[in-house]
A and B are shown apart, each in its own frame.
Chain A
Amino acid sequence: MMISEPHKDMAAEVLSRVHTGECKKRSRGYFVARAFLWGALVLSLAASVSLIASFIIFNEYISGENHLLSFGWRGAMAFLTILPWSLILLEILLLIALEVVARRFSFGYRTPILYLFGGIIAFGVFVAALINTTPIHQMLLDKADHDDLPVVGRWYKAVHDSHESEGVFRGVIVSVATDTFVVAHNDLDNDPDDGVKMVMLPPSIQATSFHTGDRVIIAGDATNSMIQAYGIERW
């Protein structure tokens, strides 16, 4: 096949740049390193997504806040209000970043966006559940309680917080009467939610259901040191 002049010109122009050193082939090692870095980024994002998801789940169970969902619509609203929204927002941003990076790979761009996003969420939840079968979060919480966990320690210590302004209280029962009991809360941080409160039980709950020493989560309206409860659960 004869190469016509215009074709040769374009190839010749590129090759002249090669000969002058202006245009160089990137080495195989460059592409291997680049693929490795992208892969490492995907793994890092996936690990972060899973760890944060597992911590959020851990937080809800260890704090007892998951019981708010059984307290009717008021409890559900309180649950939504006190969720760790900054962490959830971070999680969403990481999920989006992971989706964007995953679409650089053929398995990513061949999959519709919503399906890929759903797959990433499912993967994150699965790995989060696996993480929560290990004692890692409890160990980190113990370190945080001893002020031995930098950076993320404050997130772990926040597990102990009551959310009094949202009508959610936590404590240990110190005495039980006919239709009331007294709870004490002390998470050793010397803030206003520490102390003793009297809890007025709703008609649907019997005081005999509870005993001294029970750890409870309470949803209700507080006036001074008295709580008119609409939901109480042991945790």
Chain B
Amino acid sequence: MDTSGTQKVTDEDLATRVREGEEQAFVELVSRYQAKLLRYGHKFLSDQDPIEDVVQDVFVKVYQNINSFDASRRFSPWIYRIAHNAFVNVLRKRSREPMLVLDFDLLVSHYSSEEDTAGDRERSDVKVAIEKGIQELSPAYREIIALYYVEELSYAEISEILHVPIGTVGIRLRRARAALQKHFKENGVLTYDDI
């Protein structure tokens, strides 16, 4: 089926059409986000988790709750937020790697700037490094690394997905990178800073 006509349609317009009952718009949204959410899930959860089933449940929730989406805001953080909640529930049920009960990074404000974090060269280097070591990190660090470096979302978008202040996104990302570097150094692997 040729849907080239929907190429230039924004996610927000598609969501509005889904609200109005257009099924083809929903099919297009799934096609745009399925690979992204599967990738996000594979970085956040482990390979033992039923990631495809969880992502399918995410799309079910998207359909059920489409009337709560505010088309004046961006669709991407909204669907990633649903996916985040679904993945966190999987982790809670598994309870092998508990999420933080109280994150002290949420207590006070942190200064952060996206310019401090990554230029294009660093992003591509980190993506390579991530493939080698992300599963060794805690879930909170895995998630933020995946959202920023793999899904290439902004601080503001990640703040909306995780429901944390923007400053917390920056500080958590810095700590995640430090943890990743530490893991590589301990295992004698060249890090992205060494490349």
Q: What is the interface of chain A, defined by CB distance below 8 A to chain B?
A: 1-3, 6-8, 10-15, 17-18, 23-28, 30-31, 103, 106, 109-115
Contacts and interface: CB of A to CB of B under 8 A. Distances in A.
Contacts, number: 85
Contacts of A25: 19, 63-67
B159 A110 contact: yes
Contacts of A114: 107-108
Contacts of A15: 23, 26-27
Contact of B26 (A11, A31, A106, A111): A11
20 contacts: A7-B34, A7-B35, A10-B34, A10-B56, A10-B59, A11-B31, A14-B26, A24-B64, A25-B19, A26-B67, A26-B68, A27-B67, A31-B65, A31-B67, A31-B68, A110-B165, A112-B106, A112-B107, A112-B167, A114-B108
Interface in B60-98: 60, 63-68
Contacts of A13: 56
Contacts of A24: 64
A1 B108 contact: no
A113 B63 contact: no
Interface in B1-37: 1-4, 6-7, 19, 23, 26-27, 30-31, 34-35
Contacts of B1: 2-3
B124 interface: no
A35 to B, nearest CB: 9
B109 interface: yes
Interface of B: 1-4, 6-7, 19, 23, 26-27, 30-31, 34-35, 55-56, 59-60, 63-68, 106-109, 159-160, 163-168
Contacts of A8: 27, 31
A77 B1 CA distance: 80
- Say what secondary structure dominates the interface of chain A: helix
Given A1-B3, A23-B64, A112 B59 contact: no
A99 to B, nearest CB: 11
A25 B34 CA distance: 20
A14 B31 contact: no
Contacts of B167: 112
B30 A14 contact: yes
Interface centre among A26, A31, A113, A114, by most chain B C-beta atoms within 10 angstroms, is: A113
B67 A11 contact: no
B77 to A, nearest CB: 11
A24 B61 CA distance: 10
B108 A14 contact: no
Nearest to B108: A112
B27 A3 contact: yes
A1 B164 contact: no
